[in-house]
Every structure is written in C-alpha cells, then in structure tokens.
Structure 1
C-alpha cells in the first residue's frame, strides 16, 4: 500500500490534434495532494517512518510541502514546513489544512531550507523537496504505471524545477528498458536552471528566479538531474511565462483540470505543433500543482511577456 494513487493515463484528443501525434496524459494532478510530488515524498516518508522517525521537517512553499504534510497526517507523524516569505496565503492555508505547522522564514527557498535544516532533531527526518534518491525512486513509479498499461511512448514531455521529476522519470525509463525514449525537459524563461547547467557542462546558480512558475524556481538544479542528461537522451526546451499560462487556460478548457504554470510549461510544449512533429506517440506528465487559482493565472497573463 502506497500513499500515492495510480493516476489515470488518458488520450488527449485536443493535444493529439494540436501536436499531430497520439498524446497521452499521465494525470498526476489527481494525486490526493494535487501533484506528482506525493510519489517521491510519500516513499521517503514511509521509509523514514519505518525507521522510527517521529517528526517530518521540510522546506517548500508549494507542492513538496503539501505532499509531506499529507504523508505525515496519513501516517500520524507531525510535520513542520518552513516556507519563504514569498509563499502565497493559499499555499499556507493548504498546508494548515493538512495539520502541518507552518514557519515563515527568509526571502527565498534557500533561506527557508537553511532554517529547516536547523530544526531537525535526532528523531526527526528531513524531507528534501527534490534532491534525494528516495524521492527519485518514488517518482519512477509513474513510468512503471505507464509501462504496465502497455503504452511505450516515443518521447516523454515533463516540466523541470529542481530536477526531482526528471531524475525519477529517467530512472523509471531505464528500469523498464526504455533507454531509447527521449525526455523533453521544459522550463520557463527566468527559471531555466537545467538549461543553464546543460550549456555550461556543470550546475550553475541563477542570480534569481524571474518567472511566475515559482515551483519551477530552483536557482540551481540537482546534480542528479544534470547527470541524467549525460546518461539518457534529454532535450532541453525553454518556453515563455505567457505560453505556460496560456497552456493552463487552454488545458482547463480542454480537460476541466486546473494546473499551475509550472505544469503549464510542459503543456505549452505539447500544444506547439512544431515541437512534437517528429514523434507519433507522446507521453505528457501532467504534474499538477495545488496552489494555482484561475484568478491568479489570469492576473499573471495580463502582466506576462
């Protein structure tokens, strides 16, 4: 029994027509806490709980924190989540709905993370938002489910923030013998830390995050994510905030499902007919995001470039 659920794998007729390919969606936006994060976070929390952890500590103003909070409540383990000052009231409200203790600290995730690490006692477990082998092993289950359904794609489209999902999906592709299936890794301009790392040949720290897709906002991508680009065919793509936001609106219309701009980045690529023209069977990971509202997306669109 896992904390995450097996999510639907459906054909998207609107995206298939837009892309000129058969496009299937892995709907991880339907996880109980609203995003794919529960796969890896739930796996990590179950392992630490089994080892006797009495308290979970995390640092995330978004989906990872919500996944830790959900996992802790489900397992009966108290949770403290340290969030930066930029975290929305909605995100803090959702964390408290899951009975998490919310501590606000610092102007960035990095500063929140530094405080979170000081709060970890001898009987506690620290749950990293994206940079942990336990997370990658959990996220890999997404590919296992697609393989079990008998759908082998020509390409996988996914969004990249810190690189946890990319690391897990590559692990899942490799353990299913799908070493030949490329990953199209999508970031928004202003939060493209993987793209910068691939160009430089090593991870680099962005000066800041200049994108509304705040949950793609890791200033430095995980080393494992860059390692995946060397061990597996990974193609980097960067889209504008406007394209990501428009994809969120279009996806809501097409599939009655609201996702946040971080997820909209992958959908923007899938809606672009030129990009997927050379593939016939495409898997798009709809990673989700619980903190988005339609009003916020529409407000961002008015300011977006």
Structure 2
C-alpha cells in the first residue's frame, strides 16, 4: 500500500456556476499530511527505504518537509528537515509533531538546501522538494485516479512553484493517453519563475521573491518543468496575491476546506470564467497546504488593504 491515499474527485457546483462550465476538483488537500506532496515524496521515501536508507534529509519549511516527516514516521526512518528562518512556528510545530528533527538555517530555501546537502551521510537519502523523477512518478498517480474515475478533462489547472506538480501531472496525462489535454499553470506575480522561463525560452533565476504564496517560492523552476513547456501544451498564467488570498477565503466558504495561497492561485484562475472560455470540463488540482491558517490569510489581506490605501 502506498503512503498516500486515493483522494476524492468531485464536481464543484460553486466553481462550476462561477466559471460557467463543469469544474472538477482533485482534493489532494485531504492527504494525511495536508498536501499532494505525499504522492511523490512518499514514493521516493519508499524507494530509498527499500534500498536501505536509515535517515531521510530534506530542505523545506512547508509541505514537502511535512510529507518527508510523515513518510519517515510511517516507515520508521529518522528524518531531519532543514528549514529557512522565514518558516512559521506553526510549520515547525507540525514537523516536530511528526517526530522530525528541525534545523533552522539561512534566509531562504536555497541556503537551507545547501546545509541539508552537507548532512547526507552514506546511509542517508536526500529527498528533494520538487526536482526528482521519483517525485514526478508519484505525483502522476493523481491523474491515474482521475482516469480510473472516467473523467477526462478538457484542461487541467494547477499551481506551480518549483515545477514538481506540473512535471508529475504532465507525466500522468501522457501515460494515460491524454497528451492532448492542456495544463494551465498558475503562479502569483511575485513568484513567477515558470512564467519567466517561458518568456526566456530557458530556466532563469528570479532576483527576488515577493509573494505571500511562499510555497511557490522557487527562484528557478526545475529543468523538467521547462521540458514540459516544450513537449506538452502548457499555458502560463499569473494572478495577484490578492486574487489568491480571496480565492482561499471563497473556497473555504464554498467547500469548507482551508488551503494556502499557493493553492489559492490555481483556484483564483478557476473562479474566472474568462480564463476558461475554451474548455467545457476543467480539472483543478486542489494541492492543499497544511500550514495555512484563516488568521494568517486575513492578516495578509489586511496588509494589502493597508498598502492600497
């Protein structure tokens, strides 16, 4: 049995009415650790465990780290997660709740990742947050589940950070014979590394990240994500932080499920009828986010209101 669960696939009446077409939701926010990350991370951890790994090391202050910690606890493997100084106390508490050792280092994920690499011993396995073929193969399982349910969408809407979810979904579409189904890849304007790559024709490193959607905070997308742009119909879309946050609030009201701003980016596009005019049936990946709180989302919105005033 895999570590991830088979998540619900539902047709959303509120989003369907808002967008004027049939909107289906893959509710991976309901994974045990709160996000889709468990699919790929769980698969990678199982493979490394079978190869004899006795310690998992990760670099993530969010969903990937939580997925590694959960997988390690389930498999009986010690876990160390290196997180940047920007990581919230709630995220660190959730990591410790899964019995992970938490090391705080650096001002960014890149700096935390550099330290994490030095902690990997000969009997250890490093679990990357997004850039690993094992992750993509695991994430592809969500499309397998959609295909098994007999729902073929005209398009898939998802959020992009480092590109792991995008890479996995494209792999899943191809292995189910759905290579013609386009992916609408959504980022917030302050964390748009895929969009920058699409304009440049190659991956580029952003000078800075400026978005409340911290789970989208990869300065450079994986090369595999760039390959997806070349080999699959992928459309890059941008939304504002405000749109992502308001989508989180609206989705909580519509479906009683709280997600983080990174997931809100995809939902923001799904609520916009004009963005989906070419499609009649749309699948939205509700990727989740275990560290989200309603208070934080409302505080961010309040801060944006203060700036606009």
TM-score of Structure 1 vs Structure 2, range by shorter chain: over 0.9
Alignment of 1:54-93 (within 5 A): 54-93=54-93
Residue 303 (structure 1) shift: 1.9
Match of 1:200 in 2: 200
Q: Does 1:268 align with 2:273?
A: no
Residue 215 (structure 1) shift: 0.4
For residues 14-64 of structure 1, what are the alpha-carbon distances to aligned partners after superposition, in whole Å with 9 as ceiling and x for unaligned? 000111110000000000000000000000000000000000000000000
For residues 86-143 of structure 1, what are the alpha-carbon distances to aligned partners after superposition, in whole Å with 9 as ceiling and x for unaligned? 0000000000000000000000000000000000000000000000000000000000
Aligned length: 305
Alignment of 1:10-21 (within 5 A): 10-21=10-21
Match of 1:161 in 2: 161
SS of the residue 1:215 aligns to: helix
Match of 2:50 in 1: 50
SS of the residue 2:67 aligns to: helix
Alignment of 1:208-287 (within 5 A): 208-287=208-287
Question: Matches of 1:303 and 1:202 in 2, distance apart?
Answer: 35
Match of 1:34 in 2: 34
Question: Matches of 1:21 and 1:303 in 2, distance apart?
Answer: 33
Match of 1:95 in 2: 95
Question: Matches of 1:23 and 1:270 in 2, distance apart?
Answer: 8
Residue 208 (structure 1) shift: 1.2
Question: Matches of 1:194 and 1:302 in 2, distance apart?
Answer: 28
Question: Matches of 1:36 and 1:220 in 2, distance apart?
Answer: 21
Match of 2:138 in 1: 138
For the aligned residue pairs, the C-alpha RMSD in angstroms reads 0.5
Stretches of 4+ aligned residues off by more than 2 angstroms: none
Question: Matches of 2:193 and 2:94 in 1, distance apart?
Answer: 28
Match of 2:302 in 1: 302
Question: Matches of 2:78 and 2:286 in 1, distance apart?
Answer: 29
Question: Matches of 2:221 and 2:181 in 1, distance apart?
Answer: 22
Question: Matches of 2:123 and 2:281 in 1, distance apart?
Answer: 47
Match of 2:109 in 1: 109
Question: Matches of 1:11 and 1:209 in 2, distance apart?
Answer: 34
- Please report the TM-score for the alignment, with normalisation by the length of structure 1: 1.00
Question: Matches of 1:302 and 1:191 in 2, distance apart?
Answer: 20
Gaps spanning 5+ residues in structure 2: where?
none
SS of the residue 2:275 aligns to: coil
Residue 302 (structure 1) shift: 1.3
Question: Matches of 1:24 and 1:303 in 2, distance apart?
Answer: 32
Q: Does 1:121 align with 2:121?
A: yes
Gaps spanning 5+ residues in structure 1: where?
none
For residues 244-296 of structure 1, what are the alpha-carbon distances to aligned partners after superposition, in whole Å with 9 as ceiling and x for unaligned? 00000000000000000000000000001111122100000000000010000
Question: Matches of 2:205 and 2:285 in 1, distance apart?
Answer: 26
Question: Matches of 2:115 and 2:86 in 1, distance apart?
Answer: 15
- Please report the TM-score for the alignment, with normalisation by the length of structure 2: 0.98
